[in-house]
Chains A and B, each alone.
Chain A
């Protein structure tokens, strides 16, 4: 790290601290009701309390676990189906328009349908997360395969490469940037769906925690939960970025 980078980071942290200071001033002078904006200290205390009785860990594991399991299954199925569809020109012509129609459909709109079939259960939560985060990955995989340079396929044919080699050494690397864009979107979608379905079903997790806290006007606990959700979002998106940079390092 150069001197410039260090002073930049310190400056950035100072800005965050200044924002927190402003927040504390606003609450200290009672400019906003503490129900709407609790003091920073109260939020930290609520975070510590939740951590001590173990409910925080349970909630984080509940939400994070469901999200990651659903996301994992969705990426396997999405990439697999995407490869099957994307590699065949004919399949693409038949399937793609239908997929394009489904693309802008809000993933949350399928929640009532899932609730009708499965009730307010863990199975419902899991299916909604998988189904919702499947589309971005599937569409991105097909898009990525379409963007592979066609001359590479001709070259593979003249070199008489096997189907497997073509997929592993031509299709996947070429499609990977697009696939990653889809994975990142799906990660966001899976967290959103995990929170929403928890709020609706009351299944233990951060979504249910913050909704309960709001209903009983326990704002510090509510803000602590929102903070944890932000932390999960931050960690998962950072992890995706690191993975992407590692897997695509040959491009730079």
Chain B
């Protein structure tokens, strides 16, 4: 409850200063104006369209990146030889900031979904790879020995022994990746790609519509918060027993 005091006070103060015309500025908009701008953008569908574009980019990128990351991570985790030999290559490629790929993606895909999706996938791949590799490596030795004793094939060893043990970690990877995917998708749109919420934010700024710009900013923040809180709740509900044991 006390957490609401600060934002409520800030909004009221901001609104009051604006209403009293203490400051004349083309850059600040009163909270009521921002709310109106948000309402207008929601009603004419432009905000929902941009949201859909951003979510599509983030989601497809997240799925592709996680799939690659989890497969590589499982490989490097299961085979200790592959794990040790890949370390240097992984450590060399991982520090490349995802946004450095924007110009490359621009050349290869041009503007559009392909550009955003490929960069999101690159960014989401690394946490998935690292978390999966660690999780698979830490599957209890006894379980792997049982699998060997039963002479299980590679596939059934993966699906019956390893997978049930690492599912909670995979969900953590997915949760982290989801946050990253939204951030990277918006960043690519702000920097270069004429699509989605990030681009809408830039357009509102360049056409001097500060209220609309703040409305998009608050909307993006809200999306990130809901995503984060929702996935945390889901993890607590589905995997609470595991994570409390770990």
Is B106 on the interface with A (CB-CB < 8 A)? yes
Is B5 on the interface with A (CB-CB < 8 A)? yes
Would you list which residues of chain A between 182 and 224 have a CB under 8 Å from chain B?
188, 191-192, 195-196, 199-200, 206-207, 210-211, 213-215, 217, 219, 222-223
Is B153 on the interface with A (CB-CB < 8 A)? no
A234 to B102, CA, bound (A): 19
In the complex, are the beta carbons of B84 and A11 less than 8 A apart?
Answer: yes
A100 to B6, CA, bound (A): 13
Selected from A110, A112, A214, the residue in CB contact (under 8 A) with B103 is A214
In the complex, are the beta carbons of B95 and A214 less than 8 A apart?
Answer: no
Is A30 on the interface with B (CB-CB < 8 A)? no
Instruction: List the B residue with the shortest CB-CB distance to A212.
Output: B103
In the complex, are the beta carbons of A214 and B92 less than 8 A apart?
Answer: no
Is A12 on the interface with B (CB-CB < 8 A)? yes
- Once A94-B6, A106-B220, A229-B100 are accepted as A-B contacts, the answer to whether A117 and B86 lie under 8 Å apart by CB is no
Would you list which residues of chain B between 162 and 192 have a CB under 8 Å from chain A?
179, 182-183, 186-187, 190-192
Would you list which residues of chain A between 10 and 58 have a CB under 8 Å from chain B?
11-16, 19, 35-36
In the complex, are the beta carbons of A226 and B96 less than 8 A apart?
Answer: yes
Would you list which residues of chain B between 73 and 99 have a CB under 8 Å from chain A?
84-89, 91-93, 95-99
A contact patch SS: helix
In the complex, are the beta carbons of B187 and A106 less than 8 A apart?
Answer: yes
Is B213 on the interface with A (CB-CB < 8 A)? yes
Is A230 on the interface with B (CB-CB < 8 A)? yes
In the complex, are the beta carbons of B191 and A199 less than 8 A apart?
Answer: yes
In the complex, are the beta carbons of B89 and A106 less than 8 A apart?
Answer: no
A104 to B96, CA, bound (A): 22
Would you list which residues of chain B between 188 and 246 have a CB under 8 Å from chain A?
190-192, 198, 201-202, 204-205, 210, 213-214, 217, 220-221, 224-225, 227-228
A1 CB → nearest B CB, Å: 14
In the complex, are the beta carbons of A233 and B96 less than 8 A apart?
Answer: yes
Is B27 on the interface with A (CB-CB < 8 A)? yes
In the complex, are the beta carbons of A230 and B3 less than 8 A apart?
Answer: no
Residues in B whose Cβ lies below 8 Å from that of A142: none
In the complex, are the beta carbons of B204 and A196 less than 8 A apart?
Answer: no
Is B104 on the interface with A (CB-CB < 8 A)? yes
A123 CB → nearest B CB, Å: 15
- Once A97-B3, A217-B107, A230-B95 are accepted as A-B contacts, the answer to whether A106 and B192 lie under 8 Å apart by CB is no
Would you list which residues of chain A between 92 and 131 have a CB under 8 Å from chain B?
93-98, 100-113, 115-117
A208 CB → nearest B CB, Å: 10
Is B155 on the interface with A (CB-CB < 8 A)? no
Is B2 on the interface with A (CB-CB < 8 A)? yes
In the complex, are the beta carbons of A101 and B205 less than 8 A apart?
Answer: no
Is B139 on the interface with A (CB-CB < 8 A)? no
Residues in B whose Cβ lies below 8 Å from that of A244: none
A103 to B202, CA, bound (A): 21
Instruction: List the B residue with the shortest CB-CB distance to A13.
Output: B88
- Once A8-B84, A108-B191, A109-B198 are accepted as A-B contacts, the answer to whether A101 and B221 lie under 8 Å apart by CB is yes
A188 to B84, CA, bound (A): 25
B209 CB → nearest A CB, Å: 10
In the complex, are the beta carbons of A116 and B27 less than 8 A apart?
Answer: yes
Is A237 on the interface with B (CB-CB < 8 A)? yes
A210 to B210, CA, bound (A): 31
B119-134 to A contact mask, C-beta < 8 Å, 1/0: 0000000000000000
Residues in A whose Cβ lies below 8 Å from that of B228: 103-104
Selected from B4, B85, B186, B192, the residue in CB contact (under 8 A) with A15 is B85
Instruction: List the B residue with the shortest CB-CB distance to A117.
Output: B27
Residues in A whose Cβ lies below 8 Å from that of B27: 116-117
Is A165 on the interface with B (CB-CB < 8 A)? no
In the complex, are the beta carbons of A12 and B97 less than 8 A apart?
Answer: no
4 closest Cβ contacts across the A-B interface? Answer: A97-B3, A233-B95, A214-B103, A104-B224
22 A-B residue pairings within 8 Å (CB atoms): A15-B85, A15-B89, A19-B89, A36-B107, A97-B6, A98-B6, A104-B228, A105-B225, A109-B201, A110-B217, A113-B205, A115-B205, A192-B187, A195-B99, A199-B191, A200-B190, A200-B191, A210-B103, A214-B104, A222-B103, A229-B97, A230-B96
